[in-house]
Amino acid sequence: MNPMTGPTVNVIFLTPTLPVAGHEYETTRPVEVELEGNRYSGTYRVVAGSVIVYFKSETKFAAYGMNRPEVVARWLLSDLCRKVEARKRKRASS
Considering the domain boundaries, does residue 1 fall inside one?
A: no
Instruction: Measure CA 45 to chain center.
Output: 4
As a whole number, the mean pLDDT across the chain is: 81
* pLDDT tens string 7-44: 544 444 444 444 545 455 568 999 999 998 999 999 99
User: What pLDDT is attached to residue 24?
Assistant: 52
Determine the structural domain holding residue 86 and report its residue range. Answer: 17-93
Considering the domain boundaries, does residue 52 fall inside one?
A: yes
Considering the domain boundaries, does residue 3 fall inside one?
A: no
* Number of domains observed in the structure of the chain: 1
Considering the domain boundaries, does residue 26 fall inside one?
A: yes
* pLDDT tens string 35-82: 989 999 999 999 989 999 999 999 999 999 999 999 999 999 999 999
Considering the domain boundaries, does residue 61 fall inside one?
A: yes
User: What pLDDT is attached to residue 17?
Assistant: 46
Residue 3: how many other CB atoms lie within 10 Å: 5
Considering the domain boundaries, does residue 6 fall inside one?
A: no
